[in-house]
Structure 1
Amino acid sequence: MSVGPRAHRPLGVRQLRIAVLVKTNTGGMWLLPQVEELRHRGHEVTVVLPQGAGRLTDELERRGVDVLSSPYDFTLGRAPIGLLLLRALLRRLRPDVVQYHLIASAYAVRLATLGLPVRRVHMVANPAYLESRLVRSVERLLWRLDDVLICGCRYASARYGELGCPPQRRPVAVYGVDTDAFSPDATGPDQRAKLRAELGIDQGAFLAVMVAHVYPPRWFIHAGRGVKGHEVLLAAWRTFRRRHPDAHLLLVGGGWTAAGEDYRRRLGERFGVAGDPGITWVESVADVRPCYAAADVSVSPSLGDGPGAAVQAGAMGVPSIVSAAGGLPEAVTERSGWVVPPGDPAALVAALDSAYQGWVAGRLGLCGRLARRHILTSFDDLRAAAEVADIVEDVAGRRR
């Protein structure tokens, strides 16, 4: 792998019992390198996930990881009994450390482990929830229940700093990407032409891709707009494509939950996607790499996010246009991408124009190579997983 052999458990670090909890059994594939690194160091890891089948559950079990179903389904209606059952499960596991991802998981673990002799490690995957004034007011108090917050981007660490969290309790360790699997050479030399042919996209078109689920708007954040910024991109694309008829937009990702799918349908109707020959919108796919391989530029116009899709795109050698929201700007450099104000269609049109001119002049290839270099340096998954494991071992060894 790109970072060399993995380290064994340092001398003097005892074997730990670690419970990992996350509120999804379909997404969350990014925790796999972390689990593998902890197991490689000799620690006993149990992952607690929602009940039922899911891609994450299947992959963990395939790798021989112990997986248990959460007795709490993360709904408010079942919170009292669910949290008591989750507390009983964690007491039975007797972990030294509970590591949890996503804010709903954080609330559940914090409450379920009150008074238990366990270290709490909150890993912040996506800081979008910190854009809500209501959530910030709650987190100003509840972060104190975490022994450490491992922030997946510098932005998240800074926001928790604003809430009073001291620097030593909010270290940054990114969610990395497998830079071997996500590589310009990983999908084969003909993948670009093959996917375009399958989707009916002209081989000579300038192709922009957006890879993101469609999340329904929330009343308490971003004034009821979808967090991933689909409507911002669709509004910008109308103007951009009038200027450049040889451009095509590929949207990859279905609705997250039924509400998300309903919002996706309404967006399609509002922007006339079905009747627009310059837009192709496909459901979520098992492997997004061919989508990046076929593209000339990736677009992440989110209103609040972690580094996200721009990291995968960069690893594939594709430059990105990102909004100045959350950790997204950390995924690009001045020479490997563009950063635009969030929620600003006009600024997004200008960035698309710049990328298009780079494509015409043959400069996007260099941007893509620089993008991959940045990801190799800052977002390799094995290096990132080792940093997370170091923090978990450190916090487990501290005196309470």
Structure 2
Amino acid sequence: MVIKTDEGGLWTLPHLDELRARGHEAVAVLPPGHEGRLRKALHDRGIEVVQSAFDFRFRPGLRGLRGLLGLRAQLKRLNPGVLHYHLYASALAVRLATLGWDVPKVHMVAGPLYLESRLIRAVERLLCRLDTVVIGGSRHTERRYRALGASRTTAIPYGVDVERFSPPSPAYRAAGRRALGVTDDTFVVCMVAYVYPPKRLTHRGRGIKGHDVLLKAWREFARERPDSRLVLLGGGFGPAGAAYKRQLQALCTETVDWYDSVLDVRDCYAAADVSVSPSLSENHGAALEAGAMGVPSIVSDAGALPETVDPASGWLVPRDDVAALVQALREAHDEFRAGTLAARAARARERTVARFAHEPAARAVADLLERVRRA
């Protein structure tokens, strides 16, 4: 398994656990660097970690070429039955490092953001043909790769741990709300997401998670319903993300609480009545964790987010549409006051367990890797 991060990417662990449970040997190739969360989790499992000779930064010149040749030599020494890689820089590196080498290559796509760049789509139309199989982390992404002409595509979600993320007990929910300083009759809306800085090639000048859209909608909504509280959970991703977060905080009102990232987001979901994912680009995102905990979601129509809700479990609004988001918040608030939001919460949990539990998803990935190896 090759991935360009040692901090994120914890959603790869169920795949590796399933493969090892079937008797396969798993090796992870990570970028050189510090001890991130993914690296630690792999070490804790006893999975061999190889520091990549390539740093996954594509710069012209001899340094980049030496890195790719070093990665090729490392992969040759490992002699893998299958190469499985996640994140776009990893895909580029593996494809280039294995040119002319007949080894099965499976690219699993965590999100569709980079495909929103016209330049990258043009490049990917050629390079995706070097993959044996492309696994879209959603049906949306799988369709996009099929349209690009990928040789073979399928869709398997990364999924969510529906045992770890489960509806809170009344005591847990009460404790979570006390920690936020809200009463039982306060309508609590949460958004769990890092603040990513604007990208140069996609949605220029805008953060992709849609914080600005939600904060504008909240100003209007909270004027009408001051018995509500918005909880934002997530710090800036890197220095540029932190700077962008400081810009966004100018849009906050007294009914908004913004906390930096924490290790356990379940405390936030336990206290919430509704989760909001107003992204401009997204895979399934936070809606899966929210749904698993029995929290209905309001999601934008960006990327794969529409796959996470149905009319009985949540709300779907057009991306970057402040008025539509305000209306969805009003409807959710009305259901909270009427006591009917609980039925929607139960449906959200049922739907998430049925479609997005990570264990069957990991089995499907392992099945595919085995088939590719035998072919």
TM-score of the alignment, normalized to the shorter chain, above 0.5: yes
Per the alignment, residue 174 of structure 1 pairs with 157
Distance 1:171 1:337 in 2: 26
Whether the aligned pair in 1 keeps the contact of 2:134 and 2:150 (CA below 8 Å) is no
Query: Residue 191 of structure 2 aligns with which residue?
Result: 210
In structure 1, what is the Cα distance between the partners aligned to 2:36 and 2:298?
A: 31
Residue 154 of structure 1: how far off its partner (Å) = 0.5
Q: Deviations over 1:160-182 (max 9, x none)?
A: 1221235xx11111111111111
**Aligned match for 1:251, one of 213, 226, 232:** 232
How far apart in 1 are the matches of 2:201 and 2:85? 23
Distance in 1, Cα, partners of 2:81 & 2:247: 47
Counterpart selection for 1:64 from 46, 53, 75: 46
Q: Deviations over 1:9-53 (max 9, x none)?
A: xxxxxxxxxxx0111111111111111001111111001112220
**Who is 2:135 aligned against?**
150
Q: Post-superposition shift, 1:216?
A: 0.6
Instruction: Give the Cα separation in 2 of the matches to 1:216 and 1:165.
Output: 30
Contact residue 197 and residue 203 of structure 1 kept, 8 A: no
Q: How does 1:125-204 map to 2 (within 5 A)?
A: 125-165=110-150, 169-185=152-168, 188-204=169-185
Measured in 2, the distance between the counterparts of 1:81 and 1:110 equals 15
- Name the structure 2 match of 1:3: none
Greater displacement, 79-88 / 251-260: 79-88
Which digits, 9 at most, give the CA deviation of each residue in 1:100-151, with x for residues without a partner? 1111111111111112231110001111211111111111111001000011
CA distance in structure 2 between the partners assigned to 1:44 and 1:118 by the alignment: 16
Q: Which residue of 2 aligns with 1:351?
A: 328
The 2-side partners of 1:182 and 1:200 are apart by: 23
Distance (Å, rounded) in 2 between the aligned partners of 1:29 and 1:314: 19
Deviates more, 1:65-74 or 1:169-178: 65-74
Displacement of 1:323 in angstroms is 0.6
- 1:323 counterpart letter in structure 2: S
Q: CA deviation at 1:264?
A: 0.8
- 1:313 has 2:296 as partner: no
Q: Aligned equivalents of 2:114 and 2:335: distance in 1?
A: 35
Q: Alpha-carbon deviation of 1:303? A: 0.8
Q: Which whole-Å CA distance do the structure 1 matches of 2:318 and 2:267 have between them?
A: 29
Once residues 267 and 26 of structure 1 are traced to their aligned partners in structure 2, the CA distance between those partners, rounded to angstroms, is 25
Task: State the one-letter code of the partner of 2:54.
Answer: Y
Equivalent residues of 1:119, 1:396 under 8 A apart = yes
- Cα distance in 1, alignment partners of residues 42 and 228 from structure 2: 40
Q: Letter of the 1:285 partner, please give it.
A: V
Measure, in 2, the Cα distance between the counterparts of 1:113 and 1:203: 58
Deviation of 1:219 (Å): 2.0
1:203 Cα deviation (Å)?
Answer: 4.0
1:83 aligned onto 2:68: yes
Determine the structure 2 residue equivalent to 1:219.
200
Over aligned residue pairs, what C-alpha RMSD do you find? 1.3
| Alignment map for 1:32-111 (pairs within 5 Å) | 32-50=13-31, 51-77=33-59, 78-111=63-96
Q: Is the 8 A contact 2:4 2:87 kept in 1?
A: yes
Write the distance in 2 (CA, Å) between the matches of 1:82 and 1:322: 41
The match for 1:16 is none
Please list every run of 5 or more consecutive structure 1 residues that lacks an aligned counterpart in the other structure.
Answer: 1-19
**Percent of pairs with identical residues:** 53
Q: What are the superposed Cα offsets for residues 268-325 of structure 1, whole Å, 9 maximum, x if unpaired?
A: 13x1x3xx32111111110111110100000001111111110110000000001101
Q: 1:201 to 1:76 in 2, by over 3 A?
A: farther
- State the 1:397 CA deviation: 1.3
2: CA distance between counterparts of 1:80 and 1:261?
A: 33
Which residue identity is paired with 1:114?
A: L
1:365-398: CA deviations, max 9, x gaps?
Answer: 1111101111111111110000001111111111
The corresponding residue for 1:374 is 351
Q: Residue type of the partner of 2:275?
A: S
Q: Which amino acid aligns with 1:59?
A: A
Q: How many Å apart are 1:193 and its aligned residue?
A: 2.4
Q: Shift in Å at residue 223 of structure 1?
A: 2.9
d(CA) in 1 for partners of 2:240, 2:57 = 16
TM-score w.r.t. structure 1 length? 0.90
Decide whether the 8 Å contact of 2:134 with 2:153 is kept in 1. yes
Q: Distance in 2 between matches of 1:142 and 1:24?
A: 22
Q: Which residue of 2 aligns with 1:231?
A: 212
The answer to whether structure 1 residue 299 and structure 2 residue 271 are counterparts is no
| Aligned residues between the structures | 371
